[in-house]
Structure 1
Amino acid sequence: MTAATEPQELLLKLLDPANRANPYPVYRQILDGGPMHVPESTLYVLSSFADCDEVLRHPDSCSDRLKSTAAQRAIEAGEQPRPFGTPGFLFLDPPDHTRLRRLVSKAFSPRVVKSLEPDITSLVDDLLDKAAQTSEFDAIEQLAHPLPVAVICRLLGVPIEDEAQFGAASTILAQGLDPFVTFTGETQGFEERMKAGMWLRGYLRELLERRRAEPRDDLMSGLIAVEESGDQLTEEEIVATCNLLLIAGHETTVNLIANGILAMLRHREHWTALSADPGLAPNIIEETLRYDPPVQLASRVAGADMEIGGIRIPKGDIMMVLLAAAHRDPAVTERPDEFDPTRSPIRHLAFGHGPHFCLGAPLARMEAAVALSAVTKRFPDAQLASEPTYKPHVTLRGMARLDVAV
């Protein structure tokens, strides 16, 4: 295990904006050094594929942050543990997680996801029509960002005129997933996230009342119907679920589409191949999820004394799993730093494992397949116009701008 003085330095490197464009050398340093322990933060950082996989699958791994020693200390000090109210089911454990996920799954069925494909195709075509009017376009602003927020708003039943506000709130709230507090104790941007979070939840409550009065064929109406059939889905749980689906379904899919575009533009043979054969999209997507994952890290709480990779982790300690490091573990993947969609198998943990496996994975894959196939076909000779710029996010690392010459 790495010495206690070195982890802080390496973890601060991950938080450093200077490393946002290419954090992978830092991840490799952490991976090569093995598991790290930061006693003052009751934190263990795990980076190998085997260790991260084991944490995500382990029955004693908890997602409820209130079970951590750090959270309990904060509560004892008088801090508000859940300033936004009821959390989404992603941050709960059984039996609450099991009940909520089961209820949401009824309204988020494969049939509902499949029914969105024509809308997704139409949205992509419209966005690319506008992009084609110039010799250069920003793939973030003009494709990767507007598409997922439009899709999730249609799924939830959010009016089209409110999509821009939804997208802005989602971007702000995504930074709340970054481990600044865990690594450094800092709470930067907290007030801005509080404002965005309160606005979003207030908006969703108002929309909920409108859907009660006038149900439609959308997810929120479906969740209301589930509640009213006696399954005890409360108003706060519906709001928290819709809030979660917006944030989790937006920023992650933006990053998946954009990262796929960038990887192919830097490896032109795959752009050319996909432009000629849309059947290659699934492998492009899976390799993008491995090579440049939209979610770079995740955390769990030890619900009991645990042993991961031969290391004893006390109950209540936080386990940070560095997915981006695990995906480039040479013990699992040959030539891990190369983007190669032809490799087999492509192993990654981008959607998690176990009971918290991403509910929206089929939708994200569909959106990315439609978008990447269409953009390569429409612009077969596209080139990277300039090096991209990145948002400040660490966990949901993604680009702020990606200029493409067409």
Structure 2
Amino acid sequence: MDPIIAATHADPYPYYAQLRAEGGLVFHQGLNLWVASSARAVAAVLAHSDCHVRPSHEPVPPLIAQGMAGKVFGQLMRMNEGERQRCPRMAIEPGLTLIDVNEVKALVGARLITPGADGLYTAMFRGPVCVVAALLGFSPAQGRAISELTADFVACLSPLSDQAQLRAAHAATEQLKGYFIELLDDSSNRSALLAGIRQRFAAKSTDVEILIANLTGLCSQTYEATAGLIGNALLALIRNPQLDAAQVDDLIAEVQRFDASVQNTRRFVAAPCEIDGASLNHGDVILLLLASANRDPQLNDNPDTFLLERPNRRSFTFGAGRHQCPGQVLALHIASATLTEILARKPALDRLTWHYRPSLNGRIPLFA
């Protein structure tokens, strides 16, 4: 076991507890990076101005730097610091927090969710992106196309992707750009979300390429993280049949803390600094074990107990500070609505088998 393999291990949480006992921020010789496993260390790294989301010498991964996916990657707010992060975030975040939960429920309910593993896969991965696409003003048919292209695009975000997947990611990025250009040119678009985003963005920038890149990023961030949240909620019901499935909102809220779909993330040290008693140098890499911090007794009482009605629930699953996920509320709404629709069809959960999708940081079950 190591901190990266742990993301898709059957039960990494005893190992995470061991890491916390050894120190909140320690250097892992085998991986040649720092590992932040405690809530205090993770919070300190996420808040530190010298801990960046990309290494200064490599703003875009070399494998995609020369293609369209690399161009979009380099413009994403989640992959930038300073004004290149603040401007698109300021445009996109406010609208995401104001979306009506009933509208989300209606959009999820309008989709056909079929029983069985194939139906679950579509509901987990394709459905959430279709909801975001609809909120932006795309038609249902366009939304389905956007979800398929997003599935190809997200391959560029994983170091595990092969050359064929990367080529598909570049092609999908080109097509997504075309869809968003048409969307922005459509004078009949009545999306309040998109109108607000455009107005706030125009107040800071005229670079439409950055806006399109971050609308693509909004779809891609919805894709895997929401799928993992829905899937891990189903696993919680399978493993704990005594849970009240009617408390879907509480179930989703506790799952994102207890068994996070995003287990870890990274930060890159841009200048010498001291964090949680450790001296770090420029160029050092820090692996933040968000899922471990969620189970830290200093953050949550009885952290290894699954409690639907947990008081003062705290979590790092959606990050914290300047790079906290702007779509957290929307993701929780989509996951809750989707799980409600799945359970309404009374699936035979006891007949499902699963394995975790290969990943260096995601914990996303695939059902069969």
TM-score range, shorter chain: 0.7 to 0.9
TM (normalized to structure 1)? 0.77
TM (normalized to structure 2)? 0.84
Q: Is structure 2 residue 137 aligned with structure 1 residue 147?
A: no
Give the alignment partner of residue 234 of structure 2, picking from 240, 244, 261. 261
CA gap of 1:377–1:330, structure 2 versus 1, over 3 A, is same
Letter in 2 for 1:147: G
Post-superposition Cα deviations, 1:159-193, rounded to whole Å, max 9, x if no partner, equal 43354554344345445545xxxxxxxx5425244
Which residue is 2:255 aligned to?
288
Q: Is structure 2 residue 79 aligned with structure 1 residue 91?
A: yes
Q: Larger deviation: 292-301 or 165-174?
A: 165-174
Counterpart secondary structure, 1:269: coil
Letter in 1 for 2:225: T
Counterpart secondary structure, 2:242: helix
Counterpart secondary structure, 1:384: helix
Q: Is structure 2 residue 16 aligned with structure 1 residue 10?
A: no
C-alpha separation in 1, matches of 2:86 and 2:341: 37
Give the alignment partner of residue 248 of structure 1, picking from 216, 221, 229. 221
Which residue is 2:245 aligned to?
274
Give the alignment partner of residue 33 of structure 1, picking from 18, 22, 38. 22
Which residue is 1:236 aligned to?
209
CA gap of 1:268–1:305, structure 2 versus 1, over 3 A, is same
Post-superposition Cα deviations, 1:254-282, rounded to whole Å, max 9, x if no partner, equal 11111112102211121xx233xxxx333
The correspondence of residues 102-251 of structure 1 with structure 2, limited to 5 A, is: 102-105=90-93, 108-114=95-101, 116-123=103-110, 126-127=112-113, 130-131=114-115, 136-138=116-118, 140-174=120-154, 176-178=156-158, 188-215=160-187, 216-218=189-191, 219=193, 223-224=197-198, 226=200, 229=202, 231-251=204-224
CA gap of 1:214–1:334, structure 2 versus 1, over 3 A, is closer
CA gap of 1:116–1:366, structure 2 versus 1, over 3 A, is same
Which residue is 2:46 aligned to?
56
Is 2:237–2:245's contact at 8 Å kept on the other side of the alignment?
A: no
C-alpha separation in 1, matches of 2:296 and 2:154: 26
Post-superposition Cα deviations, 1:320-373, rounded to whole Å, max 9, x if no partner, equal 101122222244444433322233332211111112221111111111222333
Letter in 2 for 1:51: A
C-alpha separation in 1, matches of 2:6 and 2:268: 21
Q: CA deviation at 1:226?
A: 4.9
Is 1:113–1:362's contact at 8 Å kept on the other side of the alignment?
A: no
How many correspondences in the alignment?
A: 360
Letter in 2 for 1:281: V
Post-superposition Cα deviations, 1:102-159, rounded to whole Å, max 9, x if no partner, equal 12235x24444547324334236x42xx43xxxx555632532232021122133444
Counterpart secondary structure, 1:393: coil
The correspondence of residues 311-390 of structure 1 with structure 2, limited to 5 A, is: 311-379=278-346, 382-390=348-356
Q: CA deviation at 1:307?
A: 1.9
Counterpart secondary structure, 1:368: helix
CA gap of 1:213–1:336, structure 2 versus 1, over 3 A, is closer
Counterpart secondary structure, 2:150: helix
Counterpart secondary structure, 1:10: coil
Q: Larger deviation: 365-374 or 38-47?
A: 38-47
Counterpart secondary structure, 1:372: helix
CA gap of 1:308–1:291, structure 2 versus 1, over 3 A, is same
Q: CA deviation at 1:316?
A: 3.1
Q: CA deviation at 1:400?
A: 1.8
C-alpha separation in 2, matches of 1:239 and 1:59: 27
C-alpha separation in 2, matches of 1:176 and 1:26: 30
C-alpha separation in 2, matches of 1:118 and 1:383: 23
CA gap of 1:375–1:212, structure 2 versus 1, over 3 A, is closer
C-alpha separation in 2, matches of 1:13 and 1:205: 34
Letter in 1 for 2:304: D
Post-superposition Cα deviations, 1:215-266, rounded to whole Å, max 9, x if no partner, equal 3123556545555x55324122012101211110121111111111210221
Counterpart secondary structure, 1:231: coil
Bigger share in helix: 1
CA gap of 1:233–1:92, structure 2 versus 1, over 3 A, is farther
Is 1:390–1:399's contact at 8 Å kept on the other side of the alignment?
A: yes
Is 2:20–2:37's contact at 8 Å kept on the other side of the alignment?
A: yes
Give the alignment partner of residue 297 of structure 1, picking from 245, 251, 264. 264
RMSD of Structure 2 on Structure 1 (CA): 3.2
C-alpha separation in 2, matches of 1:168 and 1:88: 20
Counterpart secondary structure, 2:291: helix
Is 2:109–2:341's contact at 8 Å kept on the other side of the alignment?
A: no
Which residue is 1:397 aligned to?
363
CA gap of 1:265–1:31, structure 2 versus 1, over 3 A, is same
C-alpha separation in 2, matches of 1:11 and 1:41: 9
Structure number with bigger Rg: 1
Which residue is 2:36 aligned to?
46
Structure 2 gaps, min length 5? none
Is 2:108–2:131's contact at 8 Å kept on the other side of the alignment?
A: no
